Structure 1
Amino acid sequence: MPAALLDIPPAPPVRQQLPAAQRPLRRLTPLDRTVLRTYVLTRAGLLVTAYCVARLFPVGGPDVKRARPLLSVWQQWDWAHYRTIAEYGYFHGDANSEAFFPGFPLVLRAVHVVVPDWTLAGLLISFVSGGVAVLALARIAGGLVGGRAVLLLLLSPCAVFLAAGYTESLFLALALPAWLAARRGNWALAGLLTAGATTVRISGLFLVAALLVQFLVTHAPSRPWRRLPWLTLPAVPVLAYTAYLHARTGDWMAWKHAQERGWYRTFHWPWEAWATTWNAAFDGNYATGYALACQAELVATLLGLGLLARLLRGRRWAEATYVALTLWALGTSYWYTSVPRATLLWWPLWAGLAAWTLRSQRATYVCLCVLAPLSTLYAVAFLSGRWAG
């Protein structure tokens, strides 16, 4: 006799028990999975690019019969500083090493315990951190905009630095979840994550300022004043590092002075920095590759100013604070350095471009046709040892 005639409820379906390793995947939304697929595919593309660069630009000239090792193309510029600090600590023959915050070298040293190759350990840190960062960016922007923002970030000109053993991915993996936590009112978590971000880059302090503004513009009745002290926590790593440098050098401003000695980051008014960078870009006194890099610095600065104006017009005071402080820090040196790389850390830029492209198919074509070639160009330049900002 059918069970329905006896009013017997059907037996509940038997849930298939997932292996423990697969259970976290159940928490991923369809958007998360799309974002991670995009992330993995773009990492694979960069790996192919690195493979080709190792063979197109061998050490010793074009007639060399053996390509250099694949990992060697990732050992460029600042990577040498991070590895030296991780392996030997500060003040061991690496000039001006104190200009680099200790967060990334500390993580690198920890990962090296289980991954013996230093370069591979650095790449692994950036790979995992980048995955966390793109998930957070997608959730900050939300919906279709979030997925498109991730795509544009991963195709951006300086996206190679998200894959290299540099600080950008690790910083974003802490800063973007911190921002997401603040938007959800979890100020304790925001403070803890931002404290981690300040161990990685000075930009963490700019994020603190933005979070304070975000706290203050929160609707007054829901503003949890008792949680405000959590936003002082990010100052602790900076003060600790400053105290450490003072104990070793007797200089409370050792970090700043190392920046000045190694990278000409002495204070100059913005118009002076612009003029110096403009001259380096166009007066013909520098190598063509460096002049091109200076031109990119100027374009990135204009892009940042446009973004800042847009944020101020939209009364998005917190994000505007973050971008403004970044522009001030980078735009008041002897000349501009690493402004294109800084665009990777401007999440409102990628969210804004994503929203624009979703409103206009023409904008989508423009962005993809411009960003993708520039991304490849920067990747080849960096992986072949040329200056790429």
Structure 2
Amino acid sequence: MTAVQTALTPAATAATSRRTVTQAWLASRGLIVLVALLLAVYQGRSLTDMVDQWDVEHFTNLATNGYLGRPDGTLMAFFPGLPVLLRLGLELGLPVYLTGVVVSAICSYLAATALARLGGPVAAVAWLFAPTAVFTVVPYTEALFCAAAFWAWERARADRWAAAAGLAALACTVRVSGLFLVGALVVLALTLRTPAAPTWRERGRRLRWLLLPVAVLGAFVLYLYSLTGSWTAWYHAQSTGWARTMTPPWDAFWNTVAATVPNADHPLWPPVFTAEIVSMALGVLVVGWCLGRRLWAEASWVAVQVLAFSISYWFMSVNRAILLWFPLWMMVAAWATWRPERTAVRVGHRVVVGLVFLAGVVVMLAWSWLYFTGNWAS
């Protein structure tokens, strides 16, 4: 064993990983904030105005007025986790936007540290510089959900199901994606191998813990029922406010294709909807990658979301959903850290990885500009 190998103890490796994640977190957050600051100076707008875009208005309304804050009931499309935190900030005298940004900043770091455990520091770096990373900076649910879901998965992979269930329950207060998380954790509970081959009794113990996040989802449904008298209040809000109605996948695809044609009234819509199609294709690719490596639970986690997006009116918000697909970033890390035996191929691969990373940073900055200027950003 060489001196270098001796130095690479688990503690040293973990410290290096944490340092890499911290540096990438600071750099990626800093670049996104820089875009906002430049726009504030150039356009004479306040940072609050730039943060207050799209769903942030709904979360603010929920934090201040509750689920009956809009007569059309569309606020019921959102889960209470983030609005509750924003409300807590208001009770402490903090503006909604400040609380939301702080929550996203902290949770994006926590999510990245969990992802580093699941797929290595390169996976975390790739996630932090994702094209739609702006949604992990502003008061959206992505950072909060990913922090809870990624750590839930990490704990489940470590066969720590009490912690995994508690974290999954937290994720279930944030997004409907928590339902898909529970389903994927069921697959993991049944397929996870440990040094001692798990018995069906052990698998049953794992599954019993998952009743906790199921109970959280059930409590939310009951709460909406108490307000509306409808068991389908959440689905009705989604279909009313965002045209998320049951649609055959082929129709959803062609509806999305129709949105990619040049649009004089909304010239920036076509590239975003084109990216939605690309994101769906990435989801299918990730499912195949996971199946090829017998990562059955990870494959189910992405597959069920791809299916859900494919039966909506069109592919919408998939560009943001890729932030939730931790197997995607594991796949990216596996490709980026591949070391071919031939020197020429290895050098060429490193050049391609560098160019792809730079292109990704450019897209991240462009997407930040889309969001902060109020353009449609998925």
Report if TM-score (shorter chain) is over 0.5: yes
Match of 2:356 in 1: 367
Q: 1:139 to 1:271 in 2, by over 3 A?
A: same
Tell me how far 1:115 sits from its aligned partner. 5.1
**Residue of structure 1 in register with 2:342 after alignment:** none
- Check if 1:275 corresponds to 2:254: yes
Q: Deviations over 1:152-188 (max 9, x none)?
A: 1121110000001000000011001100000110011
1:281–1:27 Cα change, 3 Å = closer
Q: Which runs of 5+ in 1 are unaligned?
A: 1-25, 59-66
Residue 91 (str. 1) matches residue 68 (str. 2): yes
Q: What secondary structure does 2:260 align onto?
A: helix
Residue in 1 aligned with 2:325? 346
1:35 to 3, 10, 21: 21
Q: Which runs of 5+ in 2 are unaligned?
A: 1-11, 339-348
Matched residue SS, 1:116 = coil
Residues 1:164 and 2:138 are matched in the alignment: yes
Check the 8 A contact 1:194/1:234 in 2, yes or no: yes
Deviates more, 1:372-381 or 1:227-236: 227-236
Counterpart mapping for 1:221-300 below 5 A: 221-223=197-199, 224=202, 225-282=204-261, 284=263, 287-300=266-279
Q: Is 1:131–2:109 an aligned residue pair?
A: yes
Alignment-mate amino acid for residue 31 of structure 1: S
Structural mapping, 1:1-389, within 5 Å: 29-56=15-42, 58=43, 67-93=44-70, 95=72, 96-114=74-92, 116-141=94-119, 146-219=120-193, 221-223=197-199, 224=202, 225-282=204-261, 284=263, 287-359=266-338, 360-389=349-378
Larger deviation, residues 361-370 vs 42-51: 361-370
Amino acid of the structure 2 residue aligned with 1:373:
V
- Asked whether the equivalents of residues 381 and 388 of structure 1 are also in contact (C-alpha less than 8 Å), the reply is yes
Shift of 1:380: 0.3
Q: Is the 8 A contact 1:111 1:121 kept in 2?
A: yes
Q: Which amino acid aligns with 1:35?
A: V
1:365 corresponds to which letter in structure 2? G
Counterpart-to-counterpart distance in 2, 1:99 and 1:163: 22
CA contact (8 A) 2:39 2:45 kept: no
Deviates more, 1:182-191 or 1:149-158: 149-158
Q: Is the 8 A contact 1:32 1:135 kept in 2?
A: yes
The structure having more radius of gyration, on CA atoms, is: 1
CA distance in 2, matches of 1:286, 1:69: 26
Q: Identify if the C-alpha distance between structure 1 residues 97 and 376 changes in structure 2 by more than 3 Å, giving closer, same or farther.
A: same
SS of alignment partner, residue 68 of structure 2: coil
Pick closer, same or farther for the CA change 1:294–1:247 going to 2, 3 Å: same
| Pairwise CA distance, 1:207 | 1.0
Q: What displacement does 1:284 show?
A: 4.8
Query: What is the CA-CA distance between 1:114 and the residue it aligns to?
Result: 3.1
| Contact persistence 1:54–1:384 (CA under 8 A) | no
Distance 1:218 1:39 in 2: 31
Quote the offset at 1:363 in angstroms.
Answer: 3.6
Secondary structure at the counterpart of residue 324 of structure 1: helix
**Aligned mates of 1:285, 1:298 — CA distance in 2:** 21
Secondary structure of residue in 2 paired with 1:222? coil
Partner AA of 1:80 in structure 2: E
Distance 2:271 2:13 in 1: 45
Assess if the C-alpha contact under 8 Å between 1:86 and 1:109 holds in 2: yes
Task: Quote the residue 1:64 is aligned against.
Answer: none
The question of whether the paired residues in 1 share the 8 Å contact of 2:155 and 2:163 is answered with: yes
Alpha-carbon distance, 1:209 to partner: 1.1
Counterpart in the other structure of 2:346 = none
Give the letter aligned to residue 44 of structure 1: G
Q: Which amino acid aligns with 2:223?
A: Y
Counterparts of 2:223 and 2:368 in 1: how far apart (Å)? 36
Alignment partners' CA distance in 2, 1:351 and 1:74: 30
Contact 1:357 1:363 in 2 (8 A): no
Q: Counterpart of 1:130 in 2: which secondary structure?
A: helix
Deviates more, 1:93-102 or 1:176-185: 93-102
Query: C-alpha distance in 1, partners of 2:75/2:40?
Result: 28
Cα deviation code 1:360-387 (max 9, x no counterpart): 3134124213211111110000011101
Structure 1 segments, 4+ long, off by >6 Å, are none
Change (3 A) 1:29 1:112: farther
RMSD across aligned positions (CA): 1.8
Output the CA distance in 2 between the equivalents of 1:163 and 1:38. 14
CA offset digits 1:255-303 (Å, max 9, x no partner): 0010000111000111110011001112658622112221111111111
TM-score, normalization by structure 2: 0.89
CA distance in 2, matches of 1:328, 1:54: 39
Structure 2: distance between partners of 1:386 and 1:153 = 23
2:336 partner amino acid: T
Deviation digits for residues 115-143 of structure 1, max 9, x if unmatched? 521101110110111111111111111xx
